């Protein structure tokens, strides 16, 4: 059985990008103390772990229920 992750919808990605206009993906990763890979995957619409998803969405104040689906 594979581990499930969360994938942002196109609308969720746009909302996160809009909310984080002052931060590059590298700055976001540094601020969250994570590597750049989860952020790159998130913004590319790829599946990331729930913890990374929440970390990226929380500063952006993106409503999780409207911006993701389980994969």
List domains and CATH numbers for the chain: 6-70 (1.10.260.40)
User: So what's the pLDDT on residue 3?
Assistant: 59
- In the chain, what percentage of residues exceed pLDDT 70? 75
H-run or E-run covering 31 = helix 25-32
Kindly report the pTM of this predicted structure.
Answer: 0.74
Spatial CB neighbours of 66, under 8 Å, sequence gap ≥ 6:
9, 11, 12
pLDDT grade, residue 12 (50/70/90)?
confident
State the Cα–Cα distance between residues 6 and 68, nearest whole angstrom: 6
């Amino acid at each position: 059985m594979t581990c499930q992750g969360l994938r942002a919808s196109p609308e969720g990605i746009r909302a996160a990008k809009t909310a984080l206009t002052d931060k590059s993906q590298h700055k976001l990763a540094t601020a969250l103390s994570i590597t750049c890979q989860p952020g790159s995957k998130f913004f590319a619409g790829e599946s990331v772990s729930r913890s990374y998803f929440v970390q990226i969405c929380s500063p952006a104040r993106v409503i999780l229920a409207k911006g993701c689906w389980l994969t």
